[in-house]
């Protein structure tokens, strides 16, 4: 009886399944892959990249794909457009994506419009949704409004990490929605315009792909729609893009580490957190701990739209340690110029145990051609934990000729 009933029902179920499949694109994937593969299908580039773990990606027409991951370290699934790095994004056109994703991450994962440029080598993310952690951490350099949605802007540096040009050091640009979304429009050209107005230069265009990424997690996603439009319309300049303005006292920013880590993040393999164990001002400071190298410390990125080459700024931050009799602290600027990472010393101070010592330079000139700026506190040697407080960035005083000479020497 039961069997007969099922037999009767079978064609109906088959029809229903077909309707469901047809409604979301195709019934059968063109191809299902489980390992690294890069290729083209139906006008879209596709790529499955992973370093380890179990991955499955089924590719359909119109950039539609379905993916699943488990036991991975890092895996990316994507369909989009790839280019040969001969044109800037402006030469290619104003990119917009209409998308719709059934996104079910379990753990750390991002849903993003993603890609790369060369010269400079940049990995970029426009993050629409994420799993249990909102990337990339820290406090944004700016917040912009694109198509009515708020996105936080971040710039980070990856050291000796996998890239389209092998393992190397490069900048990551981020625009991360404040509220998760898994369907709608991404005005990619508007975000690119905002980045560039903030001094985050993009190079020769390699890729724009709708991407599902997993990191030490598992999950499932089905991209039901990935419609790319490239037009010759001019992107809008999003609200919130552009340079920082100093207040009436000439101060751009003062980080007191009372409510938040402000814009400061861990640099290298260490961590930062607010601590009430020590304070120069108020009740807390920023503790830097778990350092493995003397260059590990606390830093913040500086938007190149404000911190332009040749312009003068005043930097000041207090540092304290209670591990050794004396420690030499250094305030350093890391930057990229002519495609290479370089460092300029801003200030240096010797701090006795338990003493808040000031690292300051009222007339620091941003080096020629510098972009990808990172201001950070490190120590001359050792890996002891330390505290910083009252980090202030202000309008600089024009340097004397002597200072200009000594800075030029310091750079060399």
Question: Known catalytic residues?
Answer: 123, 213
Residues in contact with Ca ion, shown as a per-residue x/- string from 224 to 263 under the rule CB under 5 A = --------------------------------xx------
Q: How far is the CB of 390 from Ca ion (least distance, A)?
A: 6
Alpha-carbon distance of 300 to 305, in angstroms, equals: 15
Residue 108: exposed, middle, or buried by beta-carbon count in 10 A (0-12, 13-18, 19+)?
middle
Alpha-carbon distance of 243 to 273, in angstroms, equals: 28
Tell me the two tokens of residue 228. 């790319």
Q: How far is the CB of 283 from Ca ion (least distance, A)?
A: 7
- Looking at beta carbons only, is 195 or 257 nearer to Ca ion? 257
- Looking at beta carbons only, is 207 or 389 nearer to Ca ion? 389
Among the candidate windows 72-80, 259-267, 288-296, 381-389, which touches Ca ion by CB under 5 A? 381-389
- Looking at beta carbons only, is 69 or 257 nearer to Ca ion? 257
Residues in contact with Ca ion, shown as a per-residue x/- string from 122 to 161 under the rule CB under 5 A = ----------------------------------------
Residue 47 near Ca ion by CB under 5 A: no
Among 128, 261, 327, 389, binds Ca ion (CB under 5 A): 389
Alpha-carbon distance of 74 to 49, in angstroms, equals: 8
Residue 281 near Ca ion by CB under 5 A: yes
Tell me the two tokens of residue 233. 């319309």
> With contacts defined by CB under 5 A, how many residues of the chain interact with Ca ion?
6
Q: How far is the CB of 261 from Ca ion (least distance, A)?
A: 11
Q: How far is the CB of 315 from Ca ion (least distance, A)?
A: 17
Residue 282 near Ca ion by CB under 5 A: yes
Alpha-carbon distance of 328 to 392, in angstroms, equals: 20
Report cis status (omega within 30 of 0) of the bond before 89. Answer: no
Cβ–Cβ under 8 Å, residues 254 and 244: no
Residues in contact with Ca ion, shown as a per-residue x/- string from 299 to 338 under the rule CB under 5 A = ----------------------------------------
Q: How far is the CB of 138 from Ca ion (least distance, A)?
A: 18
- Looking at beta carbons only, is 258 or 293 nearer to Ca ion? 258
CA atoms within 13 A on the CB side of 267: 24
- Looking at beta carbons only, is 281 or 403 nearer to Ca ion? 281
Q: Tell me which residue has its CB nearest to Ca ion.
A: 282
Q: How far is the CB of 58 from Ca ion (least distance, A)?
A: 53
Cβ–Cβ under 8 Å, residues 144 and 242: no
Residue 277 near Ca ion by CB under 5 A: no
Residue 378 near Ca ion by CB under 5 A: no
- Looking at beta carbons only, is 256 or 374 nearer to Ca ion? 256
- Looking at beta carbons only, is 282 or 310 nearer to Ca ion? 282
Chain residues that interact with Ca ion, rule: CB under 5 A: 256-257, 279, 281-282, 389
């Amino acid at each position: 009886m039961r069997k007969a009933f099922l037999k009767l029902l079978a064609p109906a179920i088959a029809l229903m399944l077909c309707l469901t499949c047809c409604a979301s694109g195709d019934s059968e994937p063109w191809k299902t892959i489980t390992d690294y593969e890069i290729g083209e299908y139906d006008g879209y580039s596709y790529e499955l990249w992973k370093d380890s773990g179990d991955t499955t990606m089924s590719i359909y027409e119109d950039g539609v794909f379905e993916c699943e991951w488990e036991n991975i370290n890092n895996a990316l699934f994507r369909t989009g457009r790839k280019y040969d790095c001969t044109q800037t994004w402006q030469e290619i056109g104003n990119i917009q994506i209409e998308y719709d994703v059934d996104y079910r991450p379990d753990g750390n994962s991002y849903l993003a419009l993603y890609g790369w440029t060369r010269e400079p080598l940049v990995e970029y993310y426009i993050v629409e949704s994420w799993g249990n952690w909102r990337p990339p951490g820290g406090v944004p350099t700016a917040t912009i409004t694109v198509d009515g949605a708020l996105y936080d802007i971040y710039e980070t540096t990856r050291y000796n990490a996998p890239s389209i040009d092998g393992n190397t050091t490069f900048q990551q640009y981020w625009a991360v929605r404040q509220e998760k979304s898994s369907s709608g429009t991404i005005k990619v050209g508007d975000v690119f315009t905002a980045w560039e107005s903030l001094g985050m230069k993009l190079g020769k265009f390699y890729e724009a792909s709708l991407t599902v990424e997993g990191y030490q997690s598992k999950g499932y996603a089905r991209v039901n729609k990935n419609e790319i439009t490239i037009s010759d319309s001019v992107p809008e300049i999003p609200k919130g893009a552009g340079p920082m303005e100093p207040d009436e006292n000439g101060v751009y920013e003062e980080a007191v580490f009372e409510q938040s880590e402000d814009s400061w993040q861990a640099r290298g393999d260490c961590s930062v957190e607010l601590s009430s164990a020590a304070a120069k001002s108020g009740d807390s400071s920023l503790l830097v701990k778990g350092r493995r190298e003397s260059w590990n410390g606390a830093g913040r990125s500086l938007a190149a739209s404000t911190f332009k080459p040749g312009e003068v700024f005043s930097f000041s931050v207090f540092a304290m340690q209670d591990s050794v009799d004396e420690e030499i602290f250094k305030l350093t600027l890391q930057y990229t110029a002519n495609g290479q990472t370089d460092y300029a010393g801003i200030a240096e101070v010797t701090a006795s145990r338990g003493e808040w010592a000031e690292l300051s330079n009222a007339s620091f000139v941003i080096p020629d051609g510098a972009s990808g700026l990172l201001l950070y506190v490190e120590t001359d040697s050792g890996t002891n934990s330390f505290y910083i407080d009252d980090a202030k960035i202000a309008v600089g005083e024009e340097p004397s000729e002597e200072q200009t000479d000594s800075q030029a020497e310091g750079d060399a």
